[in-house]
Amino acid sequence: MTPITRIATDVGWLPISFVNVYFLGHPGGPWVLVDAGLPGRALQIRRAAEARFGSESRPEAIILTHGHFDHAGSAWELADYWDVPIYAHPLELPYLTGVSSYPPPDPTIGGAIAFLSRFMPSRAFDFSGRVLPLETGEIPFLPGWESLSTTGHAPGHISLFRPEDAVLLAGDAFATMDMDSWVGLISARQSLARGGAPFNHDWEATWQSVRKLAALRPSVAACGHGIPICDTNLPARLERFVGRFRAPSGGRYVQQPAVTDRNGIVSLPPPPFDPVPIATAAGMFTVGLLLGTGYLQGDGRK
């Protein structure tokens, strides 16, 4: 079992495949789970929580920075097991109550995670009866922490910040690994980078959110993807990152964002041409044709 790693006095980090979850609270006291990882990972998260807080403990709540499948995948199973509420920003509720799917990812912007996004779901979860709205500002059941609106990656995306020691949980507002690069994605080498770029439905809002977080001058940056950064030089690194932040040169949401409201999607820009599904289908057809003629079975036919 992968143990929880302490990144601040009462903040624990647990990587779940390529995504992170966080545990806020001291062992023996009240605690909160931030994000819930991929589907099917509830047992892994529970065992880590039991090792840190005790076998009979349960969180005060589960907070979702947003509801994408890799952050909310095990939320319902965990909330049901612990009998606790799930909190998310009001603008995320359509995607967490089965009302609306997310704006679809844009695989045409290029890069590793963009290529893989073709195979990732954008459907809604239905956590009706468990999910509650979490407004921005102070969090009543999490003293010292603030919820900040950091939209752009998801309509109701939030980040959590504790001013006392400048600890930042940034969700996918940005990342601490370069998922646009195959090398960065596979190696998980620590760096400041765009977070889940093909899922960003509003690039101007994404940039403004990164600027907002950099202005906080955090001492710790713990994101949804990548190894958390605990570095005295972090504020300067973030400032440089803001300066070089760029939207893709082309893509579905670059010139025109998706429009959403409290009921979900209002309008979407038209999808750009994506040659990869056609190439994939052509390749599968060719393989099927060759198998059908026996060419790949070594019977001498050509």
Tens-digit pLDDT string for the chain (302 aa)? 678 899 999 999 999 999 999 999 999 899 999 999 999 999 999 999 999 999 889 999 999 999 999 999 999 999 999 999 999 999 999 999 999 999 999 999 999 999 999 988 878 899 999 999 999 999 999 999 999 999 999 999 999 999 999 999 999 999 999 999 999 999 999 999 999 999 999 999 999 999 999 999 999 999 999 999 998 999 999 999 999 999 999 999 999 999 999 999 999 999 988 877 654 544 444 434 334 444 334 443 33
Same domain, 210 and 278: no
Residue among 189, 195, 226, 201 nearest 213 (CA):
195
The answer to whether residues 211 and 238 touch, using CB atoms and an 8 Å cutoff, is no
Instruction: Look up residue 9 and give its two tokens.
Output: 């006095």
Residue 298 and residue 266 share a domain = no
Q: Are residues 91 and 138 in the same domain?
A: yes
- Residues 242 and 262 occupy one common structural domain: yes
The answer to whether residues 258 and 300 belong to one domain is: no
Q: Please state the domain count of the chain.
A: 2
Q: Whole-model pTM? A: 0.90
CA distance 92 to 58: 24
Sequence-distant (≥ 6) Cβ neighbours of residue 99 within 8 angstroms? 93, 124, 263, 264
Which domain range does residue 142 map to? 5-271
243 and 291 housed in the same domain:
no
Examine the domain organization and report whether 127 and 19 are in the same domain.
Answer: yes
Write down the pLDDT at residue 164: 96
Buried b (16+ CB within 10 A) or exposed e, 106-145: bbbbebbbbbbbeebbeebbebeebbeebeeeebeebeeb
Q: Are residues 301 and 184 in the same domain?
A: no
Q: Indicate whether 84 and 142 sit together in one domain.
A: yes
Do 157 and 302 belong together in one domain?
no
Question: Are 293 and 261 part of one and the same domain?
Answer: no
Same structural domain for residues 193 and 264? yes
CATH number at 223 reads 3.60.15.10
- In the chain, DSSP assigns E strands to 5-8, 11-16, 19-24, 32-34, 62-63, 86-88, 131-133, 137-138, 146-149, 158-162, 167-171, 175-177, 190-193, 220-223, 229-230, 259-261, 264-267
